[in-house]
Amino acid sequence: MHDLALQKPGLVGRMFRSLKLPLSDPFAVFGLAVYATFLLTAIFADAIAPYDPTEILYTPEYELASDLRPGEQGFILGTTSLGRDIFSQIVYGTRSALIIGITAAFMVALIGSVVGLVSGYFGGWVDAVLMRLADIAFGIPFLPFVIVLAAFLEPSIWNVVLAMALVLWRDTGRVIRSQVLTLRSRGYVDAARVCGSSDLKIILRHIAPNILPLSFLYGSIAIGWAILTEASISFLGFGDPQSISWGYMLQDAFASQALAKQAYYWFVPPGICIILVVSAGFFITRGYENLLFPKLGR
Amino acid sequence: MSHLKAVASRTLQLALVLWAVVTILFLMFRLMPGNPMAAYIDPTFTVEQQQALMAQFGLDKPLWEQYFIYLGNLLQGELGQSFRYREPVAERIFALLPNTLILTFSSLFVAYAFGILAGAYLAWRRGSAVENAAIPLVLMTRAMPEFWLGMVLLAVFSFWLGWFPAGGTRPAGADYDSLWALYTSRDFLSYLALPALTLAIYSQGLPLLLMRSNMLDVMKEDFVTMARIKGLSNWTVVVRHAARNALLPVMTSFAIAVGYQLQGNVVVESIFSWPGLGRELVNAVSASDYPLAQGAFLMIAVVVILMNLIADMLYALLDPRISHA
Amino acid sequence: MKSTCRAVMATAFLALAAAASPAMAGDPIRTIEILSRPQASQPQEFQSIQLIAQEWRKLGLTVNVRVMPWEQMSDVVWYQRADWDSTAWQMVGRPERSDPDEIIYNLFHSSTAEKGYNFIGYQNPEYDAVAEAQRGEIDPEKRKAMVFEAQELLARDQPNMMLVHPKQTFAFDKTVWKPESIVDQSGIGIRNTWTFMALEPLGEKKDIVLNSSDNVKAINPLYISGGVDSWVFELVYDRLIRVGPDGLPKAWAAESYEWKGDKTVAVKLREGMKWHDGKPVTPEDVKFSFEAIVSGEAPMYAPFGSNIESIAIDGQVITFTLKKPAASFVTSSLAKVNLIPKHVWEPIIEDLKTKEANAESYQEKTPIGSGPYKFERWLTNEEIVLSANKEHFNAPKADRWILRIVPNVEAALGMLRSGELNFLGEFSGDPKVLIDAAKQDGDLEVVSTVEMGFRYVAFNERRPPFNDVAFRRALSAAVDRRLIVNAAYRGFAVPSNSVISPSLEFWYDPKTLAELKTGHDVAAGMLEEAGYTLDGGKLHYPGDTKETLAK
């Protein structure tokens, strides 16, 4: 800890190092590569996708370009029953998936970490109140909660993020709290306090960097949760029809009877994209677990 | 802390959580914009008719009064009347609850039986090619959207192969003497198979991974090494000694899994036409039938809270530190 | 170099001057909103609205499609009548709507504008007069002329943009049911009470097994609870008259009926009818049925009985005397009100009068009617089982009628193919998929019927620019209805320009559609003629009209 402070690397570099990315685990590396690929796709979606994903397309004969198979009329993955380009939807879907996933993960990790830090560090009535709040959050069934929220608010992808921020900080909060409790009992925190460091300084300097990997771990689980939840909500018809997501595509495919039409090119790719992104998160998580709790792994 | 005091404080905590969830629910449903009954008031109604309808559902009183009436009714086990079905919410919910519970528990039994065996096996074959391939595969099953898996299973096993019926809990028009007769019939099993399988594929990952890591822990312990030295075969050691000790924490996770599963049912029930609580919740929410939605939500929340409590108590009871001491 | 520069500046100045001169045009029209239900529940509606918005934008309008579920949409349209611009809407076909009165009067008469069905706020005294006159005219030919006049007035004023009359598509297993025994009811399709009574089994399977995606809410003869529920109670309860397969009233529990003057109908009750509990059906039961709906305990049925002045009984003959002449009374009241047993319902209604709840919340454990099917069993959200009433004067040929609740359309089709269903009672999916499936399967027969109901875009006449007939006509003309039929309904609909469907042959005025000219140029021409101007690609009001509703 002391050494680090002496070298005085830039804040970004320090944060990055304290993330301790699990680069030695091949699956975790695969996961990171998947993330990187989808991230690039999301950023350059406008350049990659040949069409606007919600535009109704026509063939050169001025007929609706509906239910075209892959390759027909130059549509890479074919078109939907309502004449939209599937490939463009997949590309733009990446954007919604990552926006939802990353903001939800950020909220969950941030709120959970703050609650855990404050609760564990200060203890007493603050701890008692926060942990009772966590108990209440544990008592709320998550998916039903999202459904109710999505039904009452205007349909939007942010409903899922909001619901996750309101409820799912609970797991992260509890785990971080117990981690903070162990850290607090270590000598250097007491030493710092004796030297007259303020609470804020102790938290930021000595405790926060040590729990950052743990927050990141819970964050990467939350990415998967957010994407899966958004997909379920869309499937149940509470999604936002204005912004194309993979969950929305699957809903559209099933509502348009892609199964009966044997339109694999329509309902398989979004499913695979979801599985890839979500399991990438799990792979990274596992890499972390092996790093953080070596006894769990092999 | 004495045993009695611990139980008392746990009960108090439970009551607090229940009260908070009920209050959040109440506020969530009452504070939404618009007249809650708009969808149910026919425009040809006179003002008096509208008011009579509002009065019938207690919506003419101020919000705080509605809240206390609601709490009072809940304490008497009264969940109100559904707007849409014009019948007591409790009646509908208790008609649907058994279907949801049987789906949840049967799928979890399958998932845990498989997960525990496979987890033990993978721990025993640690480092092998099988393990290396299996772990990512298991992680991927948890990354699949349940409805997607459900639709694919429906297409393959019901539409193409024709092995299982596509939806419901029994053949059309079939009559059974009792629920027990239904649940033990062969027909019922064939209807249960696909939805339960969908949920089981999703839930087997947790017990599997838990069992495996616990086994790895236990296998490092002294008594296992002793047994090996005694010359017992590897598999005997795994089954007789390690597995038994690794099993307890996995069983604790079962209670939590029940709570999670109950939420996941929402989607699967819609796909397999399963008449359960989750589907009712979705219907009620989209039809703005908030007494019913509230009731279904509360029922699911109560099960979740109870299962959390059971998990806590089991955990205290089976804490490895205590059992090893 | 210098001169080019000056030329550019001059052009820029001219453009500026044009944009700034208020005398030449009104304000630009604000962003127009159009409401639609989500694709998940209403794919054809959603697609139609997208297509319409695309065409309207080409006229220089800024169009915003707002998607909301049905409950929210009806809340806005019904209760915030001044706050929306235009909305997708539908009227569904029902046997009682075979008489045009409900549509012609309720939807457009100015008296229903404030709180009733005329939620668009259409006001036209000329129309009001025609709508009132046709109500009281009992001579069919004279009334027909009036109904034609009403349709032509609507075609001229375009209070709504009529889109299509969809086709109802159903299917059945032709290895189980004799195809000739199917009855295709005009404007309704083959899923109807007549079919369920007539279906003739070919072999061992004698149970009609059909699907619905919506749950049954109630089986209550005094509560209009929903579409699916009516399939059930139309079978359990009889009515004096039923709307026949041809759309015309047909004596049913009544042996015969006769108009005695323009306010009196005499009905002779059929002899020998029995309730499902074995007791005989009496004229007192019939009288009670019509009194129960106006007892204050059945508000939804009350309008169907409120025009009755008195009911007199003489032997088997029941005489209804009306307060006002009403040509539609036979179809919309006598064929609508369920006959209920007095010995069951009298004590219930007396009891309910002392309570806050009304008969709409009362669910009998075993509903007792006199209809062709008897109630057997109801499993919540799973199935309803009725058994044939073999003593009925028109006893069904099938043994049982079993309704299965199947929320997922893909599953419903799979079940039909696997034999778990033998009658497709509801199909919200793509009809082409169904027809392909029937071709592959070989056992299925698909029947499509033009619906009595219709889909349209309602314009809110309270809000400019929709208060301008020319603007409405132009917007309506902007979209070729064939585009909607093909690109949204995949051919399973017919174009519409009248609230009366071509399936109601007697009342339908074909001139309305024949005279509808559509296309972008037609619409743009209409707008220009009415003084609307295009500036910078944006449509402006005519004259010096100001935008008063911009946000």
Domains of chain C: 2-166+452-533 (3.10.105), 170-236+366-445 (3.40.190.10), 241-350 (3.90.76.10)
What are the pLDDT digits (tens) for B179-216?
A: 788 888 888 899 999 999 999 998 898 889 888 888 87
Query: What was the pLDDT predicted at C23?
Result: 47
Query: What was the pLDDT predicted at A2?
Result: 43
Q: How many CA atoms lie within 13 A of A240 on its CB side?
A: 20
Query: Which residues in chain C have Cβ-Cβ distances shorter than 8 Å to A56?
Result: 47, 50-51, 54, 487
Provide the β-strand partners of residue C88: C457
| CB of B286 less than 8 A from some CB of A | yes
Record: contact A82-C47, CB cut-off 8 A: yes
Report the gap between the CA of B123 and the closest CA in chain C (Å). Answer: 40
Mean per-residue pLDDT of chain A: 81
| CB of B308 less than 8 A from some CB of A | yes
Q: How many CA atoms lie within 13 A of C366 on its CB side?
A: 12
Per the structure, the complete domain to which residue B146 belongs is given by 96-318
Q: Are strands C454-459 and C86-91 parallel, antiparallel or unpaired?
A: antiparallel
Candidates C122, C97, C7; CA nearest to C461 is C122
The answer on B53 and B106 residing in a single domain is no
What are the pLDDT digits (tens) for B56-90?
A: 667 777 778 888 888 888 888 788 888 888 888 99
Please indicate, yes or no, if residue B86 is contained in any of the structural domains.
no
Please indicate, yes or no, if residue B80 is contained in any of the structural domains.
no
The answer on B154 and B37 residing in a single domain is no
C16-23 long-range Cβ contacts below 8 angstroms, 24+ apart: C18/C535, C19/C535, C19/C536, C22/C544, C23/C544
Record: contact A257-C43, CB cut-off 8 A: no
| CB of A259 less than 8 A from some CB of B | yes
Whether the per-residue pLDDT at C362 is higher than 90: the answer is no
Find the residue in A nearest to C438 (Cα). Answer: A260
**Structural domains in chain B (count):** 2
Domain boundary among B75, B105, B136: B75
Assign A295 a pLDDT band (cuts: 50, 70, 90).
Answer: very low
Please indicate, yes or no, if residue B134 is contained in any of the structural domains.
yes
Beta carbons within 10 angstroms of residue A295's beta carbon: 9
- CB pairs below 8 Å between A and C: how many? 61
Whether the per-residue pLDDT at C491 is higher than 50: the answer is yes
The answer on B53 and B186 residing in a single domain is no
Query: Which residues in chain B have Cβ-Cβ distances shorter than 8 Å to A224?
Result: 143
The answer on B138 and B36 residing in a single domain is no
The answer on B69 and B123 residing in a single domain is no
The answer on B135 and B47 residing in a single domain is no
Q: What is the CATH number of the domain that holds B309?
A: 1.10.3720.10
Q: How far is CA B303 from the centre of its chain?
A: 8
Find the residue in C nearest to A243 (Cα). Answer: C67
Q: Residue C321, by phi and psi: left (phi above 0), alpha (psi -120 to 50) or beta?
A: beta
Contact indicator for C104, C74 with CB cutoff of 8 Å? no
Record: contact A155-C40, CB cut-off 8 A: no
The answer on B161 and B118 residing in a single domain is yes
Contact indicator for C478, C218 with CB cutoff of 8 Å? no
Find the residue in A nearest to C434 (Cα). Answer: A260
B198-225: burial string, b at 16+ Cβ within 10 Å, e else? bbbbbbbbbbbbbbbbbbbbbbeeeebe
The answer on B135 and B184 residing in a single domain is yes
The answer on B264 and B313 residing in a single domain is yes
Query: What was the pLDDT predicted at C423?
Result: 95
Assign A220 a pLDDT band (cuts: 50, 70, 90).
Answer: confident
Record: contact C381-B279, CB cut-off 8 A: yes
Report the gap between the CA of B155 and the closest CA in chain C (Å). Answer: 8
Query: What was the pLDDT predicted at C325?
Result: 87
How many residues are there in chain A?
Answer: 298
What are the pLDDT digits (tens) for A45-76?
A: 888 888 888 777 777 776 777 788 887 777 88
Q: Which of B86, B166, B288 sits opposite C415 (nearest CB)?
A: B166
Record: contact C429-A256, CB cut-off 8 A: yes
What are the pLDDT digits (tens) for C82-140?
A: 899 999 999 888 887 888 888 999 899 998 888 788 999 999 999 999 999 998 888 88
Find the residue in B nearest to C74 (Cα). Answer: B39
In a mutational test of the C interface, the residue from B84, B190, B273 whose CB has the highest number of chain C CBs within 10 Å is B273
Task: Parse chain A into domains and list their residue ranges.
Answer: 2-297
The answer on B179 and B305 residing in a single domain is yes
Taking the C-alpha atoms of residue C206 and residue B172, their distance in angstroms, rounded to an integer, is: 12
Taking the C-alpha atoms of residue A51 and residue B39, their distance in angstroms, rounded to an integer, is: 39
Interface list for C 416-445 with A (CB within 8 A): 429-430, 433, 437
Record: contact B34-C218, CB cut-off 8 A: no
Write down the H helix ranges in C80-238. Answer: 101, 125-136, 140-157, 193-198, 227-236
- CB pairs below 8 Å between B and C: how many? 125
Fold of A2-297: MetI-like fold (1.10.3720)
Find the residue in C nearest to B47 (Cα). Answer: C115
Q: What average pLDDT does range C261-279 have in this prediction?
A: 92
Find the residue in A nearest to B156 (Cα). Answer: A259
Percent of chain C exceeding pLDDT 70 equals 95
Query: What was the pLDDT predicted at C11?
Result: 47
Query: Which residues in chain A have Cβ-Cβ distances shorter than 8 Å to B213?
Result: 296-297
What are the pLDDT digits (tens) for C59-82?
A: 999 999 988 877 778 888 888 888
Record: contact A155-C38, CB cut-off 8 A: yes
Contact indicator for C220, C212 with CB cutoff of 8 Å? no
Give the burial class of A232: count Cβ atoms within 10 A of its Cβ; 0-12 exposed, 13-18 middle, 19 or more buried.
Answer: buried
- Both tokens of A92, joined, read 């733009």
Query: What was the pLDDT predicted at C10?
Result: 47
Residue pointed to by tokens 């210098």:
C2
Query: What was the pLDDT predicted at C58?
Result: 92
Mean per-residue pLDDT of chain C: 89
Q: Which of A132, A259, A279 sits opposite B151 (nearest CB)?
A: A259
Please indicate, yes or no, if residue B30 is contained in any of the structural domains.
yes
Taking the C-alpha atoms of residue B91 and residue B100, their distance in angstroms, rounded to an integer, is: 15
Query: What was the pLDDT predicted at C17?
Result: 44
Query: Which residues in chain A have Cβ-Cβ distances shorter than 8 Å to C487?
Result: 56, 64, 66, 83
What are the pLDDT digits (tens) for C138-179?
A: 888 999 999 999 999 999 999 999 999 999 899 999 999 999
The answer on B142 and B113 residing in a single domain is yes
Who contacts C44 (Cβ-Cβ below 8 Å, separation ≥6)?
Answer: C166, C455, C488, C489, C493
Query: Which residues in chain C have Cβ-Cβ distances shorter than 8 Å to A256?
Result: 43, 429-430
Please indicate, yes or no, if residue B42 is contained in any of the structural domains.
yes
Taking the C-alpha atoms of residue C250 and residue C230, their distance in angstroms, rounded to an integer, is: 19
Whether the per-residue pLDDT at C432 is higher than 70: the answer is yes
| DSSP codes of every residue in C8-70 | HHHHHHHHHHHHH-GGGS-PBP-PEEEEE--TTT-HHHHHHHHHHHHHHHHTT--EEEEE--H
Which one-letter amino acid corresponds to residue C549? L
Q: What are the distances in angstroms from CA B50 to CA C218, C299, C361?
A: 20, 10, 15
Record: contact C411-B154, CB cut-off 8 A: yes
- The residue ranges of chain B whose pLDDT is under 70 are 1-3, 32-49, 56-57, 222-224, 227-228, 231-235, 237-242, 317-325
Query: What was the pLDDT predicted at B32?
Result: 65
Query: What was the pLDDT predicted at B105?
Result: 92
Give the DSSP letter of residue C359: G
Taking the C-alpha atoms of residue C27 and residue C45, their distance in angstroms, rounded to an integer, is: 32
Q: What average pLDDT does range C471-486 have in this prediction?
A: 93
The answer on B137 and B245 residing in a single domain is yes
Query: What was the pLDDT predicted at C7?
Result: 46
Q: Which of A82, A252, A260 sits opposite C433 (nearest CB)?
A: A260
Task: For CA atoms C102, C107, C111, C117, give the dihedral sign.
Answer: positive
Taking the C-alpha atoms of residue B259 and residue C28, their distance in angstroms, rounded to an integer, is: 57
Candidates C441, C537, C398; CA nearest to C59 is C537
Whether the per-residue pLDDT at A192 is higher than 50: the answer is yes
What are the pLDDT digits (tens) for A77-116?
A: 888 887 888 999 999 999 888 888 889 989 998 999 999 9
